[in-house]
Structure 1
Amino acid sequence: MLILLPPSEGKSPAVKGPAVDLEALQFPELTAARQTVMTALAVTSTAPDAHSILGVGDSLGAELLRNATLGDQPAAPAFRIYSGVLYDALGYSTLTPVQRRKAQESVVVISALWGALGFADPIPAYRLSMSVSLPGTGTLSSFWKQRLSGPLGVRSGDALVVDCRSSTYASAWAGAPERTIAVNVLQERDGKRTVVSHSAKHTRGLLARHLLTRRGKQPGTPVQLLAAARERWPAELTPATSRKPAQLSIILQG
Structure 2
Amino acid sequence: MLLLLPPSEGKTPAPDDAGPVDLGALAHPGLTEQRQTVLDALAAVSARGDATEVLGVSPNLAEEVVRNTQLKAAPAGPAATVYTGVLYGAAGLGALTGEAASRAARTVRIFSGLWGAVAPDDRIPAYRLSMGASLPDVGPLTTAWKPALAAALGPHAAGDVVVDCRSATYVAAWKPATTGSASAQWVTVRVVREVGGQRSVVSHNAKHTRGVLAGHLLRRAGEPTSAAEVLAAARELEGRTILTEVTTGRTQTLVEATLTPAPRRNAPQTLELVLR
Q: TM-score, normalised by structure 2?
A: 0.88
* Equivalent in the alignment of 2:199: 193
The amino acid that maps onto 1:162 is: V
The amino acid that maps onto 1:68 is: T
Contact persistence 2:18–2:76 (CA under 8 A):
yes
**How many residue pairs align between the two structures?**
252
Counterpart pick for 2:268 among 240, 245, 249:
245
**Partner-residue secondary structure (3-state), 2:274:** strand
Gaps of 5+ in 1: none
CA offsets 1:217-254 (integer angstroms, 9 cap, x no match): 3222212211111111311111123221111111111x
Give yes or no for the alignment of 1:40 onto 2:41.
yes
The amino acid that maps onto 2:122 is: D
Q: C-alpha distance in 2, partners of 1:41/1:95?
A: 32
**Partner-residue secondary structure (3-state), 2:130:** coil
CA offsets 1:22-50 (integer angstroms, 9 cap, x no match): 11111111111001101111111111111
Give yes or no for the alignment of 1:183 onto 2:189.
yes
Q: C-alpha distance in 2, partners of 1:130/1:94?
A: 27
* Equivalent in the alignment of 1:20: 21
Deviation at 1:213, TM superposition (A): 1.1
Contact persistence 2:67–2:127 (CA under 8 A):
yes
**Partner-residue secondary structure (3-state), 1:83:** coil
The amino acid that maps onto 1:244 is: A
* Equivalent in the alignment of 1:104: 105
Give yes or no for the alignment of 1:136 onto 2:121.
no
Q: C-alpha distance in 2, partners of 1:94/1:115?
A: 24
Structure showing the higher helix proportion among its residues: 1
Change over 3 Å in CA distance of 1:93–1:120 after alignment to 2? closer
Larger RCO (alpha carbons 8 Å, 6+ apart): 1
Identity of aligned residues (%): 49
**Partner-residue secondary structure (3-state), 1:29:** helix
The amino acid that maps onto 1:251 is: V
1:29-178 paired onto structure 2 within 5 Å: 29-177=30-178
Contact persistence 2:93–2:120 (CA under 8 A):
no
Q: C-alpha distance in 1, partners of 2:96/2:117?
A: 23
**Partner-residue secondary structure (3-state), 1:182:** strand
**Partner-residue secondary structure (3-state), 2:72:** helix
Q: C-alpha distance in 2, partners of 1:40/1:94?
A: 34
